[in-house]
Structure 1
Amino acid sequence: MRHWPLFALRVTTPRLELRLPTLDDLDALADRAAEGVHEPGGMPFGVPWTDAPPDERARSTVQIHFRQWGTWSPDNWSCSFVVAWEGQIVGTQGMAGRDFAYTGEISTGSWLGLRFQDKGIGTEMRAAVLHLAFAGLGARHATSSAFVDNPRSLAVSRKLGYRDDGIEVHRRRDGAAQQQRVRLAREDWTARAGFEIHGLDPCLPLFGLPPRA
Structure 2
Amino acid sequence: MLTDHWPLRRLRLTTERLVLRLPDEEELAALADVAASGVHKPGERPFLTPWTDLPPAERARSVLQGHWSSLASWTPQDWELQLGVFRDGTPLGIVALRAQDFAVLREVKTWSWLGLPHHGQGFGTEARVALLHLAFEGLDAVAALTEVFQDNAGSQGVSRKLGYRPDGISRDVLHGQPVISDRLRLTREDWSGASVRVEGLEECRSWFVA
Alignment partner of 1:101 out of 84, 100, 103: 103
Partner of 2:173: 171
Partner of 1:116: 118
Q: CA separation in 1, counterparts of 2:179 and 2:71?
A: 31
Q: Does 1:145 align with 2:147?
A: yes
Aligned residues: 208
SS state at 1:14 partner:
coil
Q: CA separation in 1, counterparts of 2:9 and 2:200?
A: 9
Given the two structures, how large is their TM-score scaled by the length of structure 1?
Answer: 0.96
Question: 4+ residue runs of structure 1 moved beyond 2 angstroms?
Answer: none
Given the two structures, how large is their TM-score scaled by the length of structure 2?
Answer: 0.97
Structure 1 vs Structure 2: percent identity of aligned residues? Answer: 47
Q: CA separation in 2, counterparts of 1:173 and 1:196?
A: 41
Unaligned runs of 5+ in 2: none
Q: Does 1:158 align with 2:160?
A: yes
SS state at 1:171 partner:
strand
Query: AA paired with 2:13?
Result: V
SS state at 1:144 partner:
strand
1:146-202: CA deviation from partner (whole Å, max 9, x where unpaired): 100111011110111100111111111231111000000001001123x11000001
Query: AA paired with 1:4?
Result: W
Task: For residue 110 of structure 1, report the CA deviation from its aligned partner.
Answer: 0.4
Task: For residue 98 of structure 1, report the CA deviation from its aligned partner.
Answer: 0.4
Q: CA separation in 2, counterparts of 1:93 and 1:146?
A: 15
Q: CA separation in 1, counterparts of 2:54 and 2:125?
A: 27
Task: For residue 120 of structure 1, report the CA deviation from its aligned partner.
Answer: 0.3
Task: For residue 86 of structure 1, report the CA deviation from its aligned partner.
Answer: 2.9
Task: For residue 125 of structure 1, report the CA deviation from its aligned partner.
Answer: 0.3
Q: CA separation in 2, counterparts of 1:164 and 1:143?
A: 10
Q: CA separation in 2, counterparts of 1:148 and 1:97?
A: 23
Partner of 1:198: 199
Unaligned runs of 5+ in 1: none
Q: CA separation in 1, counterparts of 2:70 and 2:140?
A: 22
Q: Does 1:90 align with 2:97?
A: no
SS state at 1:2 partner:
helix
Partner of 1:76: 78
Partner of 1:135: 137
Query: AA paired with 2:202?
Result: D
Q: CA separation in 1, counterparts of 2:194 and 2:50?
A: 34
Q: CA separation in 2, counterparts of 1:146 and 1:60?
A: 21
